[in-house]
Structure 1
Amino acid sequence: MRRTMLGTISALAIAAGTLVAAAPAQAAPALRFHSTQYDSPGKDTRSNTSLNAEWIALVNTGSTAVNLSGWKIIDKSKTYTIGNVTIAGKGGKVYLHTGKGTNSKTHLYWGSGNYVWNNTGDTATLRTKAGKTHDTCKWGNKSGRTRIAC
């Protein structure tokens, strides 16, 4: 009887270890690109006002806020690493403007003196802190359109 009891306890311990190992991974945040204004309205003067009228936005459709620290928004020629910013849940948005400015909870600034997004077509990539591609937003020449939903 003693051996049977020890065997049962061992089997339970092994089963418990298996259950812990098989626990599902944490779900990825419900975070994605929302929209972009890839062609600043008016003439491309490279003034800070014009540069900041070019932007890309993220939206969090999940119910939980997400800290974006270390996440990256990537263009083929430039990378922006997000600092300690938390995007609210349930539709919270964060805009990344191309030019210079003071970062806030909902508006970030790349600090570039040149336009980032190509008017004729481009791809924005959102990568996690671990470097995994989380979302992309791609556009082509939209025949006069300067802003699209991703």
Structure 2
Amino acid sequence: MSVSFPVSVRRLSAVAVAAASCVGAMALPASAAGPRHDAHRDQVAIGGVHSRSDRSLNGEWVEIRNNGRGDVNLSGWTLSDSQGHTYTFRRFWLDDRSTVRVHTGFGRDSSRDLYQNLRRAVWDERDTATLRDNRGRFIDATSWGYGRNDRSDDNRSHRNDRDDHHRDGGRRH
């Protein structure tokens, strides 16, 4: 004995299945967007700092490193010091497993070097460099010149302040 369904029931079932597939496909990118941001927190970091160069303002820089396997859009991200000087990344993608140096002085931007085009030094002998994404969320910070084991080389007491930053309520420096 066979049971037959009217054509309209079969059509409604097919439409319902197709609609559920579309809703599921549209929801997937939205749910995938959350974890991707968290991946930037571990993927992108401040790699080093060279402050107060006697040679030129271009000898003063902060290095941003992409440790991940995917390119990261840094457009709208900010790099700031403890006095509130802020550099905003304009249309810039950081390739996977690469670095870019943000120089204080003047120059022509490239995939390896960006320039703030400033006439005065930004990074002091004691300072903190803070990196935030385009929504102002904390990504990484590095401080130097505050410890008793300070060295006077390019990366003075380079340390990651991610935990300290969360303790102070995520305030901007």
TM-score between the two structures when normalised by the length of structure 1: 0.72
Q: Is the 8 A contact 2:52 2:123 kept in 1?
A: no
Relative contact order: is structure 1 or structure 2 higher (C-alpha 8 Å, sep ≥ 6)? 1
Tell me which amino acid in the other structure corresponds to 1:68.
Answer: L
1:67-86 matches, within 5 Å, as 67-75=73-81, 76-86=83-93
What is aligned with 1:17? Answer: 22
Any gaps of 5 or more consecutive residues in structure 2?
161-173
| Corresponding pairs, count | 140
Give CA-to-partner distance per residue, 1:79-128, whole Å, 9 cap, x none.
21223433221x21100011222322211111222222343232412323
- Taking the aligned partners of 1:33 and 1:85, their CA distance within structure 2 comes to 16
Judging by fraction of residues, say which structure has more strand. 1
Any gaps of 5 or more consecutive residues in structure 1?
none
Q: Is the 8 A contact 2:57 2:105 kept in 1?
A: yes
SS at match of 2:125: coil
Of all paired residues, the percent bearing the same amino acid is 24
Superposition deviation, residue 67 in structure 1: 4.2
The question of 1:135 aligning with 2:147 is answered no
What is aligned with 2:103? Answer: 97
- Pick aligned residue for 1:35 from 48, 72, 78: 48
Give CA-to-partner distance per residue, 1:19-62, whole Å, 9 cap, x none.
1233033424532222222x335xxx6xxx34323211111122
Judging by fraction of residues, say which structure has more helix. 2
Between Structure 1 and Structure 2, whose CA radius of gyration is higher?
A: 2
- Taking the aligned partners of 1:35 and 1:73, their CA distance within structure 2 comes to 13
- Taking the aligned partners of 2:100 and 2:63, their CA distance within structure 1 comes to 6
TM-score between the two structures when normalised by the length of structure 2: 0.64
Q: 1:57 to 1:149 in 2, by over 3 A?
A: farther
